[in-house]
Amino acid sequence: MLLYRPTGLHELQLLAGVGWRAWPPRLPDQPIFYPVVTFSYAEKIARDWNTIDEFSGFAGFVMRFQIDDAFAQRYPVQRAAGRAHEELWVPAEDLEELNRHIRGFIEVVSAYVGQRATLQVDPITKLPAGFSSPIIAPDGPGLSCPCCRTLTLSRRSGFEICPVCFWTDDGQDDPDADVVRDGPNAKLSLTTARQNFLACGAASAEFKDRVRAPLPFER
Ligand SMILES: [Zn+2]
């Protein structure tokens, strides 16, 4: 299951400290961990709330991560205000176990900087200066392909072609998924490519003969 979470600068530092692999423990006054189901809901919180919050460093980051479906099903989706606000309620004491079910890395998808923030964000990594991206091992999981979600990329926005779906990673992701960039993916928007992948196993039907199945560590 694909999940998102809006986070501030402080939590981002904790994530970097553990190699982007695990969510930090909750504080005593935070009994529930609330990952959300859609990018748009996470974006709204990161952009409209974290950027005016001092404890967040006046900056918001939308993080994306994947957990095993079987584990995710323990937590029914809660709807705060209709379908647009879907989230999971994970008790703080389950967080360690949730961390063990994370596949690959917790990745930053987009960043929002408030007027009172003092940091600058790298437009490619979406990380503040001084932060390191996840370290990818040759035979370990990479970063997730924004189209097919398998863990095939050694970096983001590097124009790598995903071997599982044949999408070229030009940096497009959830924030602008509907845009036709006319770049290496030509007239394909990311949204259309995702739909094509679900329908035919490739970002576009013309690539069907050029893709391969994901390797075990890419799933
Ligand atoms: Zn892919």
pLDDT tens column, 15-74: 999 999 999 999 999 999 999 999 999 999 999 999 999 999 999 999 999 999 999 999
- Residue found under tokens 């400290």: 17
pLDDT tens column, 101-158: 999 999 999 999 999 999 999 999 999 999 999 999 988 999 999 999 999 999 999 9
In the chain, domain spans: 2-113, 136-219
Q: Which residues contact 39 (CB under 8 A, 6 or more apart)?
A: 4, 62, 64, 109, 174, 175
Give the distance (Å) from ligand 1 centre to CA of residue 38. Answer: 19
Task: Measure the CA dihedral 17/22/25/29, to 10°.
Answer: 110
Give the distance (Å) from ligand 1 centre to CA of residue 206. Answer: 15
Give the distance (Å) from ligand 1 centre to CA of residue 109. Answer: 16
Structure tokens at 46: 């990161």
Look at residue 82 and tell me whether its pLDDT is greater than 70: no
Give the distance (Å) from ligand 1 centre to CA of residue 153. Answer: 8
Give, in order, the Cα–Cα distances in Å from 131 to each of 12, 53, 108, 209: 9, 21, 12, 39
- Residue found under tokens 């576009």: 204
